Structure 1
Amino acid sequence: MFKNIDFQLKDYNPTPPSLVCCTEEGNKNASVKVDLARLFHHYYLDTRGYAPPDPDLARFEHLSLFTTDKEFRVRGDGFGTGLAFRRSTSNQLGQAFCRWFLYEHLNITYFAHMDAVLNRPAHPNSIGHEVFRVSPGDAPDYLCAQDRSSVFLAEAKGRSKSISFKNAEFNKWRKQFDRVGIRDASGTLISAKGHIVATRFATEADGKKVKSKLYAEDPDSPGETSLREAPQLANSVIALHYAELAAKIRQPILSNSLALNLQVPPEIQFPAFVWEFLSPPLSGKRFVGGFYPGREGIAPLEINLNNERTVFLNQNPLRLDLTPATFFGVEEAIFSGLCSIARGGDELAKDLPPFPEIAFFDSAVSVLRDGSIVAPVNYLSPIGLRIY
């Protein structure tokens, strides 16, 4: 399922290749499609430590607050009635849109919350770049990485009021980049490329002429020289990104090791359940993870086939209204690599195998380049317990 959102860019030179074809009149009046399953996937990774509130991608909890139009339009005059709920919902969706935009159109795969970056101790033997707080106040939301060397700062905003690159609010958001700094091993302040992604959510009360719109700007943080490569920082971002995924698949020791930069002794092993995807385009691909029951809370029916495969059906296969259980996991080779990082340190992030981009094939399935997957459990068959 897709919805459309308008967008406008500032200081992106050149324009991201994926947006060139849908840009009109010099980055104005352009729109882009949003895969709602992927938007939910980013929202889940960003906000939920464990189980999502409703694991069915087709029932993304905030979608009920939007109309059924092809464009994003909030019902009534805003998200709910209470001011606190409206602000919280706008911020959560703003962060989901930020991660979605940077992932889809700027090839940024890994995200670490800034508070986790600032609080994460460096390895005693590490030499490289460091992120530090310059002054109190709101800092950018994320330190993110495109690959094992390129890192960026990112700030996400979401609101129902008007947004403009020229208004006072946007200028306040720019100043957040002044509150953190990056320095190299010699103590020299380094300037890093940043991204501000602010999403204005139009409401029914605004009228049809006002549309939801995403505003993206490409500022730099203060510094004496530009940041070229920062493998240590990128490795930290990757470790923090996967720490949250490890928590979701119930691997607390692995999660804590990645989050706190603590190496586990060799005798610590990681037992995990492996599943195999049964359908193209992921036939034979294996993932580590598990499932959450459907919204009725009923565990699925486990059936052993003659070919020794196990499949899952709804508890009552005669009923077509029951929702399937939802699988969440991470690709097996990547999971194995994370266990190696936990034992050997962040620098082993360079050995994580890449996961290819998977083209859209089902609105109930989302697979990201970090190897994480959300899908109906019917697509997968359990292989068995493995020790890593």
Structure 2
Amino acid sequence: MDKVIKLGLNKYPTIPHTLRSAPKLNQPAQEISVGLAQLFHHYYLDTYGRRPPSPDPTQFEHVRFLLPTSDFRFQGGGLGISTAARRSRSCELGQAFCRWFLHEHLNITYFAHMGDLLDRQLHRAFGGCSISRSKSGDTPDYFCAESVDRVFLAEAKGRYTSIGFATKEFDGWREQFNRVQVLDAAGIPRSVKGHVVATRFATERDSAVVRTTLLAEDPQSPGERPLDGELARVLGSAIIGSHYSRIAEKLDQPLLAAALRNGVTLPPEILVPVVVWELAMPPFKGRRFVGGYFSPDDTPAFRVMDGKVVANRNDPLRLDRPRATFFGVEEKIFRQIVSACRSTGRFDEQLNQLENIEPIYSGISMLRDGSIVGPAEFFLPISTATL
């Protein structure tokens, strides 16, 4: 299911092709579509540790409060009845929109929360570089990466009030990039390209003229020289490790998650037992994933019948029984992650990424990092493995 939002870009000398009004024109489109399953996927990865309250993308809690219109618009006055609740929920959703936008349109795949890396000079993956706060105040939300040697900063905002590039608020968001610095081994600050992604959410109480709008700008953090070469690879490796540590946590792999988060090797005596699943629907029928399912209750989601594993319907007369939700990572990518953790604890080589991801079903989302989420009945367990 897709919804339409308005788009505004600033300081992008070359407009990404997916955001152009016409393929050969270097001008941004006025509107873009948002896939709600993909938006939920980023929200889940960003917001929750293991299990969210409602893990099924078709039951994404925010979707229940959207109006049945083509544009992205909330019922009533938005999520939450108090100012504090509305501010918190809009912030969370703004971060999901930021990740979705950077992933879908700027080819950025890996995300690490600033708090996971800031002032972590002792992180083994950092080598001789450090990340520190240079001024008091808020810093950008993320370090993110397109690949192991292409690193960015990102700031996400979500709100119900008007936003604009020429406002004092936007100036404040730009200033956040001046409050964090990346220092090389010699203590020289390096500049990092950044993105501010701010989303204003429209509600039923707003006039029809007011629409949900995403504004994006690419400021740059101060520094004497750009972040590149081996230093970029060192930081990129730490970002990728942090990104997959959160995914490993969701896969119930706490020791692997800890090794990835801290940039240390996983000793051979620590084994990684997994279950391998196959996607049962084209166009990716037969694609294998390491993962498992979250169940809404204690009822097993699968059973063996006539020697075959089938979805379990404990009450076939009911049509409203809650479904289990699968979460996993593409098998080859997961094996690469474990292999890197076993050898150096760093991602010195670029990991595989899933490309040319075609739509499968509105309730299934698959991202380039190999992670996938969707109804469990679309997947079948086929084997176990120990890595």
* TM-score computed with the length of structure 1 as normaliser: 0.93
Name the counterpart of 1:107: 107
Q: Structure 1, residues 225-266: CA drift from partner, whole Å, max 9, x if none? A: 222341111111000000000000100000011112232322
Asked whether the equivalents of residues 191 and 227 of structure 2 are also in contact (C-alpha less than 8 Å), the reply is: yes
- 1:292 paired residue among 294, 298, 301: 294
Number of the residue aligned with 1:56: 56
Counterpart Cα distance in 1 of 2:357 and 2:28 = 30
SS in 2 for 1:92: helix
Q: Read off the aligned partner of 1:220 and give its amino acid letter.
A: Q
Counterpart for residue 31 of structure 2: 31
> How far did 1:346 drift?
3.9
What's the offset of the Cα at 1:349?
A: 5.0
Tell me if structure 2 keeps the 8 A contact 1:337–1:349: no
1:238 aligns with 2:240: yes
Aligned: 1:170 with 2:170: yes
Structure 2 counterparts to residues 27-176 of structure 1, below 5 A: 30-122=30-122, 127=127, 129-176=129-176
For 2:330 and 2:269, the matched residues in 1 are separated by: 23
Aligned mates of 2:269, 2:29 — CA distance in 1: 58
Q: Secondary structure at the match of 2:198?
A: strand
* Structure 2 match to 1:253: 255
C-alpha distance in 2 between matches for 1:329 and 1:76: 36
The answer as to whether partners of 2:233 and 2:348 remain within 8 angstroms in 1 is no
Name the amino acid aligned to 2:262.
L
Uncovered stretches (5+) of structure 1, i.e. residues with no partner? none
Tell me the number of residue pairs that the alignment of Structure 1 and Structure 2 aligns: 385
Corresponding residue number in structure 1 for 2:206: 206
How far apart in 2 are the matches of 1:194 and 1:365?
Answer: 30
Q: Secondary structure at the match of 1:206?
A: coil
Question: Structure 2 unaligned runs (5+)?
Answer: none
Kindly state the Cα deviation for residue 343 of structure 1 after the two structures are TM-superposed: 2.3
- 1:278 corresponds to: 280
Is 1:379–2:378 an aligned residue pair? yes
> Percent identity over the alignment?
46
Equivalent residues of 2:264, 2:345 under 8 A apart: no
Q: What do the CA deviations read for 1:60-112 (whole angstroms, capped 9, x no partner)?
A: 11122321211111222232211110000110010000000000000000000
Alignment-derived partner of residue 315 in structure 1 = 314
Alpha-carbon spacing, 1:346–1:122, altered in 2? closer, same or farther (3 Å):
farther
Distance 1:226 1:245 in 2: 30
Deviation at 1:344, TM superposition (A): 2.4
Worse-superposed segment, 162-171 or 115-124: 115-124
Partner SS state of residue 288, structure 1 = strand
Match of 2:228? 228
Q: Please, what is the CA RMSD of the aligned residues?
A: 2.1
CA deviations over 1:318-375 (Å, ceiling 9, x no partner): 3222232110011112222222232223434525333223111200100000000101
Deviations 1:295-337 (A, max 9, x none): xx2524523355x441213322332222321100111122222
Counterpart of 1:184 in structure 2 is 184
Residue type matched to 1:293 in 2?
A: S
